[in-house]
A and B are shown apart, each in its own frame.
Chain A
Amino acid sequence: MNPTDQRMDRLLHALSTEPVPEGLEQRISARVAQRTAELDESRPSKLGAILQANPLGPYAIAPAALTVMAAVCLLVFAHSGVRQTTRLNLPTTLPGRATAPPAELVPASSVSHSTLAMSVSRASSLLDSPSSQQDPDAIALNETLAPSHPAPALPLTAQEALLLRSTRRGQPMEVAELDTLLEAALMNRVTEQRRASLRETIQGLLGPLATAQALTSDSTQPDDSKTTADADSPTR
């Protein structure tokens, strides 16, 4: 036999008689058991099992799903219609609108059912049109579709304002308002401090003036003595 053929046959025989690694079957069994456990965990729920057991299968599920979806759509549509009616029948009870002229208010009875059926796109186009400022329907629809804002915050009560001021730092006066005796003492102290500072300020301002006056008086006094001396001298 050709040596090349011998090598080929030897190689093919070696490939066909390659010894199997030890423990191969155990490792395969372990891997298969692991995969089986994973498949059991991902097994469909009872509903899935019922659906799988159903002989009609997905063909019976599709009409049921469509029916449910149609019912949900009908409910949503009916609910939105009720909400629109409620909005349009609401009286304008806002305090700012209470003094508005009645011509700007559109009573609920004057709104036709066609307005109720108006789609949002048509409403937006109506609101965007330049003539919407004059059209009473547009004004009413604008008021209806306007977003509701929360009420403005009420002013703080005296206690809240006091508590708020007491939480500020570096202001002993406001903290002292919690204690009337301490407040009076601190008020007196602050008043005294203000007076002292005012006095110092005035003295600082008037100090140079007093010095100038003193100097002026000092410079004029020798002249007076001299004159008096001069006046006395002839008499001598």
Chain B
Amino acid sequence: MAVPSMQEVRSETDLAALVETYSTLLFRVAHSILRNRGEAEDVVQDAFVRVIENRRKLPEIRDLRVWLVRIAWNLALDRTRRIRPDQLDAGFAESLAACTVAADQALDEARHIQAVLREMDRLPKPERAVLLLSAMNEISTAQIADVLGKTESAVRALLFRARARLRQRLEKGSRA
């Protein structure tokens, strides 16, 4: 996705337009970390509150999408330190498995997806961040690099390593 131009950014300073444009993306970014819909919604609200508190700086922001995703990402990371692991949405894997396979295989598939989520949480933080953010179709590699403060090549390398490590661990776990 192309980086919005300065004029587009300027025109997006209207708050209603910001909410309409970015609330879905921010919710998914927060939900990818938290896997809890209520907590993710709180993160999105907090992110837009930050926007209000820093509205004087809005014209100076180069890429509003990157800025908002970075706010939501950091808020979600802060929130993961405060909530317990059992507060994460345990039904996410079951719902995902149930809608893709038959009912008799749903339980086994849910167990596999739970394993993927568990191993994803165990990844090194940069690799995990790149893996989750790259899943969002609305964020380009360059924007991910801006959000995480890395270069594009570093993001690509991290993404490759994250997938390789995750695959290796999952195959190792399935053999055991």
Contact = CB atoms under 8 A, between A and B. Distances in A.
Contacts of A13: 135
Nearest to B93: A11
A217 B49 CA distance: 122
A5 B164 CA distance: 10
Interface string B11-54: 00001100110011001100110000100010011001101110
A25 B49 contact: no
B166 interface: yes
Contacts of B53: 35, 39
Contacts of A36: 52
A63 B171 CA distance: 71
Contacts of B112: 7
B45 A27 contact: yes
**Taking chain B's interface residues, is the majority helix, strand, or loop, or is none over half, making it mixed?**
helix
Given A4-B174, A24-B23, A11 B116 contact: yes
A2 B164 CA distance: 12
A10 interface: yes
A168 B164 CA distance: 101
Contacts of B15: 29, 32
Contacts of B163: 5, 8
A21 B167 contact: no
B170 interface: yes
B41 A4 contact: no
Interface residues of A, number: 26
Interface in B47-74: 48-49, 51-53
Given A4-B170, A21-B37, A31-B45, A16 B113 contact: no
Contact of B167 (A4, A17, A24, A31): A4
Contacts of A17: 28
A39 B49 CA distance: 11
B157 interface: no
Contacts of B19: 25, 28-29, 32
B132 interface: yes
A25 B136 CA distance: 20
Contacts of A10: 96, 100, 113
Contacts of B96: 10-11, 14
A14 B109 CA distance: 14
A235 to B, nearest CB: 140
Q: 5 nearest interchain CB pairs?
A: A12-B135, A15-B32, A16-B135, A31-B45, A4-B170
16 contacts: A2-B167, A4-B174, A10-B100, A10-B113, A15-B28, A15-B31, A17-B28, A18-B28, A18-B31, A18-B37, A20-B23, A24-B27, A24-B44, A28-B45, A28-B48, A35-B52
Given A4-B170, A31-B45, A39-B53, 4 more contacts: A4-B174, A7-B116, A8-B170, A32-B15
Interface of A: 2, 4-5, 7-8, 10-18, 20-21, 24-25, 27-29, 31-32, 35-36, 39
